[in-house]
């Protein structure tokens, strides 16, 4: 039998990550809740509907323009819980620290987590700390898990997309990935790019309270908009057609992508969300989003269509149409 190894690309959030979970994790852990394939598990506990989610944070560098690993660890899990249609309430925080890690950096990170939790209105109520030998981890890794209560009367899932629904995106794509990357590689772009890392639970609560029929919520993190929409298309067995001219990408991110050979549609975001809603409610959702600090640039970027089933297409600026596939591996800078 051919030996296989875990490679970095298995953690990119794209097709290889998807295959890894499908082929290794699911067969072992299979149950009907995991099978929902959403960002968080939706649980019914004695009549109380809860959302539960976990994520680990291994970002490098630890501090970047617009955020740090601590803010990310809180916002990431808050958002995963919120994308299940829930109000996040409590978080856990697990730290794996490398021997020799500067105490000052740890204090900065913890303070940042506290600020992010305060903004999101969640409490960090349990945790764990382990210290490992120098070289065993890269400074600090953080795991957070979150729990929240699902808003009454709502039913949000990636499997709820239906033909005719509009797809709304809350703002500009790619800022987080580019901010981290430029810091990591010392790249200087003409205009600075700041991570969009932010808690979206307030925005989710506003739109879900007003329009409980919202079908799908998802934050396009690793793998970006393209991979996230592919997952939803597969989950719901529908097609998706996007309009390139409607997708908001800032000139700074576009310029950086042009230089590096990246596609902003695959770049990670940490403060953006996608909403699937019936067309008659679109205007109402847009109005609410555009009044919120994290949804000012919200706009309709496409529609759910019948065919081709399970795939995402893009109508380009010049009128062509092409497939928008799931990310395979990491996006890597081109040679020329």
Taking the least distance from each CB to other proteins, the nearer of 48 and 318 is 318
Instruction: Check residue 311 and give left, alpha or beta (phi > 0: left; psi -120 to 50: alpha).
Output: beta
* C-alpha angle 198-199-200 in degrees, rounded to nearest 5: 110
- Closest separation between CB of residue 308 and other proteins, Å? 7
Taking the least distance from each CB to other proteins, the nearer of 58 and 187 is 187
- Closest separation between CB of residue 269 and other proteins, Å? 20
Taking the least distance from each CB to other proteins, the nearer of 27 and 320 is 320
User: What does the buried/exposed string (b/e) look like for 217-248 if buried means 16 or more CB atoms within 10 Å of the residue's CB?
Assistant: bbbbbbbbbbbbbbbbbbbbebbbbbbbeebb
Taking the least distance from each CB to other proteins, the nearer of 15 and 108 is 15
Rounded CA-CA distance 44/50 in Å is 6
Taking the least distance from each CB to other proteins, the nearer of 85 and 302 is 302
Rounded CA-CA distance 8/226 in Å is 20
Residue in the structure block whose two tokens are 């957070």: 144
- Closest separation between CB of residue 186 and other proteins, Å? 9
Chain mean position to CA 21: 17
- Closest separation between CB of residue 10 and other proteins, Å? 9
- Closest separation between CB of residue 320 and other proteins, Å? 2
- Closest separation between CB of residue 273 and other proteins, Å? 24
Question: Residue 72: which H helix or E strand, with range?
Answer: helix 69-82
Task: Name the CA dihedral angle for 251, 257, 262, 265, rounded to a multiple of 10 degrees.
Answer: -10
Taking the least distance from each CB to other proteins, the nearer of 45 and 335 is 335
Which residues lie near other proteins (CB under 8 A)? Answer: 5-9, 15-16, 19, 185, 187, 245, 260-261, 263, 307-308, 311, 313, 315-323, 325, 328-336
- Judge contact between 229 and 269, C-beta under 8 A: no
């Amino acid at each position: 039998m051919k030996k296989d190894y875990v490679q970095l690309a298995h953690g990119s959030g794209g097709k290889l990550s998807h295959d890894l979970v499908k082929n290794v994790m699911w067969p072992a852990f299979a149950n009907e809740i995991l099978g929902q394939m959403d960002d968080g598990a939706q649980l019914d506990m004695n009549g109380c509907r809860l959302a539960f989610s976990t994520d680990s944070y291994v970002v490098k560098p630890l501090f970047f323009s617009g955020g740090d690993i601590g803010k990310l660890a809180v916002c990431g899990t808050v958002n995963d819980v919120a994308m299940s249609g829930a109000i996040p309430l409590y978080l856990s925080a697990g730290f794996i620290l490398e021997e020799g890690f500067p105490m000052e950096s740890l204090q900065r990170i913890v303070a940042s987590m506290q600020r992010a939790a305060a903004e999101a209105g969640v409490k960090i109520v349990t945790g764990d700390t382990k210290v490992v030998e120098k070289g065993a981890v890269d400074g600090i890794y953080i795991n957070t898990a979150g729990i929240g209560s699902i808003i009454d009367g709502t039913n949000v899932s990636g499997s709820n997309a239906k033909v005719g629904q509009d797809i709304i995106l809350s703002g500009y794509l790619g800022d987080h990935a580019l901010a981290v990357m430029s810091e990591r590689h010392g790249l200087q772009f003409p205009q600075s790019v700041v991570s969009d890392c932010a808690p979206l639970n307030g925005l989710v609560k506003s739109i879900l309270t007003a329009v409980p029929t919202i079908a799908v919520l998802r934050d396009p993190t690793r793998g970006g908009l393209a991979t996230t929409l592919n997952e939803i298309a597969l989950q719901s067995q529908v097609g998706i057609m996007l309009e390139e001219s409607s997708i908001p990408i800032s000139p700074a991110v576009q310029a950086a992508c042009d230089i590096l050979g990246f596609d902003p549609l695959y770049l990670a975001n940490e403060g953006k969300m996608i909403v699937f809603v019936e067309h008659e409610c679109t205007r109402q959702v847009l109005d609410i989003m555009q009044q919120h600090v994290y949804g000012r640039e919200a706009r309709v970027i496409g529609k759910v269509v019948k065919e081709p089933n399970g795939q995402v297409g893009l109508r380009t600026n010049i009128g062509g149409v092409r497939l928008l596939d799931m990310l395979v591996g990491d996006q890597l800078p081109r040679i020329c």
